[in-house]
Each structure stands twice: as structure tokens, then as C-alpha cells.
């Protein structure tokens, strides 16, 4: 395409290198924003009409023409040309083909610098709404399972070593609270994303005194940007979104890692449904948790999108630079990957098969050593001394090759006269779990409190 036909070609006297044409073209990426670009153009046309830069006939012609362009996108009937650099170029070219000269008035006072960032915010606003819905679904799956599997006991772990008995439902909710925090962070990002940059021009502002506040209302933005130079180069909202995707991905990865471990034969607490598992081309017996492994792996690529774009941003001079063309690719990739990860996580968790007997069988009396210390504390012993004495009980049982409940009262007395026959009352896993009644504990009362809180949280969002 000859330079004089480009949006910017007036001062150029030679053809653009085909190599640069290829590198400069972002249409294969930013075409996803065709609807947002059309919407922004329609509302910008309204602003131009309000200040008499468009006649009523020209305004109507632009609206009708842009709707025709929208239909072409939706019906996939657009014939692209070599000079189509981006979605903005295509939409303007097609509009001119449909309505002629009025299309050439639409861009007055507007730059692709403020146009593209407006499109991105419109697109991201919609994407975040869909992600919010997925996050809500995920939290609800956790709470539903926690409520229906409330009484299942299992080992809790630190350092991947058996630590203390807990409820399976408490483990489920430990992840639900992470995702609740993620959802809160996503909701807090929305107002910072919803600041209108349109009307900033290339960098100096708009010289035609358009009503930016009314334009913001028409496009559903909360407020308008206050500095045109900052507005056209601002991609903090992209970085925040990429960070949010990365952190949510890390939480998904940790969930996946737990479930991968719990699904091994060595643990066998859960079984991943066949619909979210794969087999081996060599070993017929294999039942691989590929859905969870993919989530774990893709979480790293989300972090890569964040760090990659941070390095793009860090050295840029003020206002728009073409380096920012990569912003959309990072944003789209992160959104798409996280959306897939969330959908798979929801499906895998919903169809997960719990094995309560195996969970209970994994409990061992050494996990109640802390309860021995608590027993002594309740009898007035300082905790550090109680901890030491409980350690001696563990050591004696190992020395005798028997479990702690099998020690006699005389064995206990050799360690401390404080031990009485009621020490044998602590060797009950259910009683152990039920002592943690404080807010945040693993007792049934506390877990039910968590479930109710999260259920109400989800209901409030659904009804808002």
C-alpha cells in the first residue's frame, strides 16, 4: 500500500519496507478489540457532533457505517489489505468505503495513542467481568464440597510431613480463602482500569473542547484522566492485571500440587476423574493428572507475561512509544490462559472423588503429640516445659516401638508425675480436631462458620 494512503503517510516520499510492514502490523492481535474500537468511535462521533464538527446527517452516516463494519467482523467477510496495520486502520478504511467523506472527519482531535488505550480498557473491563464470574464459580465449588464432606478427617501437613489432624473441609476452604482474596483484588482493580483516556490526543490533549466527562459516561467510565501525557503511556492497568493473573495462577498451581500429591498411590486421598485425566502411550495402567499438571505449568507462563511486560515498561521515555504494541499480546495471553486454567480447575475439583477411608487411615497417633503438650498446659505446666515433656513421650514410645496410647500410666509417670490416667482421653482424632473452635480453626463449628461466610460473600456478589 502506498504511504500516501496510510493514516500517517502524508509526509513520506518512499514506500515502507516490507520487513517493517510485517513487524509493524498488529492486526492479528488487536483485531480482538474490533467491537470496542467501533463503540469508542461511535461515542467519539457523538462528542464531535455536540461541538458542531459533525452534522446530524454525518453522525447518522457514521453510526450506520460502523454498524455495517461490525457486521463484517462478526460475519468474517472482511478482505484485509497489505496496508492494514491494526484494527483502527481497518475500521477507518472500511468506514470510508461504506460512507465516503464523512469517515474522514471521525478522527479529528483523536490519535491512535488515546484510541488504543481506550479500546484496551473497554476490552479488559469485559474480560474482568467474565473472570470474576469464574472466580465466583470456583469458590462456590469449594464451599459446596466443604459443606457436603464436612466430617472427613485427614492429616494436615507442614514440610510435607504429617503434622496435626484436620478436616478435609478445612483444607478445601484454605484454598477457597486464597481465591476469595484474588477475587477481592480483581474487584479493586476495576476502578483503576475504568479511567477514560480518550480525549488525550497524541500527547497534548484535544484542541476542540470535546465533553470528556459526558464521553466517559457514554462509554461507562467512572472518571476521565487528568493528564494527557500520562494517559497515553499509562499501562499500569495492564501490569496490575498481569500481576493479578500471575498471583491467581500461583494459587491455582498450589491447589494443583496438593491434589497431584493426594492423588498418588502413596497418598490415595483423592482420585482425579477420568474426564480430567490422561493415560500413557506405553503403560496401560497409568492414570495421569494432566489437567492439574497443565495448571501448574501454565502458572509459570503467566508470571512470564508479567515480567516480560515489566521489562518493556521500565525504560520507556514519557508518552507513547511503539514498544507498547506488545501490551495487548501480554494482556490477551494472560487472560486466555487463566480462563482455561480456571475452567479446568472448576471441572477437576467438581468431579474429584474423595476417599474418606484412606484419609482417616493416614492419621497416626504421633500427630497428637501436640495434644500431649496441651494436656500438660491445661494442668498448669508452662508451654515450653510441656513441649519438652511431650517430646520425651514421643521418644519413649519410639524407644519401646509402641504407639503413645500403648504406653502405660507408669511409663508416663517416669517422665512426669503430672500425668494422670486422663491422658488416655486425648487419643481421639475427632476430639483433637474439635478443640480448635476459635475463628479460623478446624473444628466443625469453625468450618461451618467459614462456609456460611463464603456462601454469604458469593450471594452478595451474585445479587449486586
Q: Give exposure, 13-42, as e/b (b: 16+ Cβ within 10 Å).
A: eeebeeeeeeeebbeebbbbbbbbbbbbbb
Decide if pLDDT at 2 tops 50: no
> With left for phi above 0 and alpha for psi between -120 and 50, is residue 270 left, alpha or beta?
beta
DSSP class of residue 165 equals: E
Rounded to an integer, the average pLDDT of 127-144 is 98
Q: Which of 62, 86, 105 is the last residue of a domain?
A: 105
Instruction: Evaluate if residue 422 carries a pLDDT over 60.
Output: yes
Residue 414 pLDDT exceeds 60: yes
Kindly tell me if the per-residue pLDDT of 4 is higher than 50. Answer: no
pLDDT tens digits, 435-447 = 999 999 999 999 9
Find out whether 175 and 255 touch, Cβ atoms under 8 Å: yes
pLDDT tens for 350-390 read 999 999 999 999 999 999 999 999 999 999 999 999 999 99
pLDDT score of 425: 96
Tally of domains in the chain: 3
Q: Please indicate, yes or no, whether residues 233 and 327 belong to a single structural domain of this protein.
A: yes
Mark whether 371 and 346 lie in a shared domain: no
Residues 97 and 123 in one domain: no
Same-domain pairing of 212 and 260: yes
Residue of 324, 301, 320 lying closest to 311 (CA atoms)? 324
Question: Do residue 184 and residue 330 come from a single domain?
Answer: yes
391 and 442 in one domain? yes
Domain range for 42 is 3-105
> Do 369 and 441 fall within a single domain?
yes
100 and 135 assigned to the same domain: no
Evaluate if residue 181 carries a pLDDT over 60.
yes
Domain boundary among 38, 71, 105: 105
Q: Which helix (H) or strand (E) holds 411?
A: helix 409-415
The pLDDT of residue 239 is above 60: yes
Neighbours of 287 (CB within 10 A): 14
Q: What is the pTM of this model?
A: 0.93
Say if residue 254 is in the same domain as residue 119: yes
**pLDDT (mean) for 46-64:** 98
Cα angle 75-85-23, degrees, rounded to a multiple of 5: 125
**Residues annotated as part of the active site:** 159, 280
Q: Is the dihedral of CA 155, 156, 159, 163 positive or negative?
A: negative
**pLDDT at residue 17 greater than cutoff 80:** no
Amino acid at each position: 500500500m502506498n504511504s500516501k494512503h496510510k493514516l500517517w503517510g502524508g509526509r513520506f516520499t518512499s514506500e515502507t519496507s516490507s520487513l517493517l510492514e510485517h513487524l509493524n502490523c498488529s492486526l492479528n492481535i488487536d483485531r480482538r478489540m474490533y467491537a470496542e474500537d467501533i463503540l469508542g468511535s461511535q461515542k467519539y462521533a457523538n462528542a464531535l457532533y455536540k461541538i458542531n464538527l459533525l452534522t446530524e446527517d454525518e453522525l447518522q452516516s457514521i453510526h450506520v457505517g460502523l454498524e455495517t463494519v461490525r457486521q463484517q467482523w462478526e460475519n468474517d467477510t472482511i478482505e484485509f489489505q497489505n496496508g492494514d496495520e491494526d484494527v483502527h486502520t481497518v475500521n477507518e478504511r472500511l468506514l470510508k468505503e461504506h460512507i465516503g467523506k464523512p469517515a474522514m472527519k471521525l478522527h479529528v482531535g483523536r490519535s491512535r495513542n488515546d484510541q488504543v488505550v481506550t479500546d484496551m480498557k473497554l476490552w479488559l473491563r469485559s474480560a474482568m467481568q467474565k473472570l470474576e464470574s469464574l472466580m465466583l464459580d470456583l469458590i462456590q465449588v469449594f464451599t459446596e464440597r466443604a459443606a457436603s464432606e464436612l466430617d472427613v478427617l485427614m492429616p494436615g501437613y507442614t514440610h510435607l510431613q504429617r503434622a496435626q489432624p484436620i478436616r478435609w473441609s478445612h483444607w478445601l476452604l484454605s484454598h477457597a480463602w486464597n481465591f476469595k482474596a484474588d477475587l477481592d483484588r480483581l474487584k479493586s482493580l476495576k476502578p483503576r482500569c475504568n479511567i477514560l483516556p480518550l480525549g488525550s490526543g497524541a500527547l497534548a490533549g484535544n484542541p476542540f473542547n470535546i465533553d470528556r466527562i459526558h464521553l466517559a459516561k457514554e462509554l461507562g467510565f467512572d472518571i476521565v484522566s487528568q493528564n494527557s501525557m500520562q494517559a497515553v503511556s499509562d499501562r499500569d492497568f495492564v501490569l496490575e492485571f498481569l500481576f493479578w493473573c500471575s498471583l491467581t495462577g500461583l494459587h491455582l498451581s498450589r491447589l494443583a500440587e496438593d491434589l497431584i500429591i493426594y492423588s498418588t498411590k502413596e497418598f490415595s486421598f483423592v482420585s482425579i476423574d477420568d474426564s480430567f485425566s490422561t493415560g500413557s502411550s506405553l503403560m496401560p495402567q497409568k492414570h495421569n493428572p494432566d489437567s492439574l499438571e497443565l495448571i501448574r505449568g501454565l502458572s509459570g507462563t503467566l508470571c512470564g507475561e508479567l515480567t516480560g511486560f515489566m521489562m518493556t515498561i521500565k525504560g520507556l521515555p514519557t508518552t507513547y512509544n511503539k514498544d507498547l504494541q506488545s501490551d495487548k499480546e501480554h494482556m490477551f495471553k494472560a487472560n486466555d490462559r487463566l480462563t482455561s486454567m480456571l475452567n479446568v480447575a472448576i471441572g477437576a475439583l467438581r468431579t474429584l472423588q474423595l476417599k474418606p477411608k484412606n484419609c482417616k487411615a493416614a492419621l497416626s497417633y504421633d500427630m497428637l503429640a501436640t495434644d500431649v503438650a496441651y494436656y500438660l498446659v491445661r494442668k498448669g505446666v508452662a508451654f515450653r516445659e510441656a513441649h519438652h515433656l511431650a517430646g520425651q513421650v514421643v521418644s519413649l514410645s519410639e524407644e519401646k516401638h509402641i504407639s503413645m496410647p500403648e504406653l502405660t500410666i507408669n511409663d508416663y509417670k517416669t517422665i512426669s508425675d503430672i500425668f494422670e490416667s486422663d491422658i488416655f482421653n486425648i487419643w481421639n482424632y475427632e476430639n483433637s480436631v474439635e478443640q480448635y473452635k476459635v475463628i479460623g480453626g478446624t473444628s466443625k463449628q469453625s468450618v461451618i462458620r467459614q462456609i456460611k461466610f463464603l456462601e454469604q460473600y458469593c450471594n452478595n456478589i451474585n445479587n449486586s
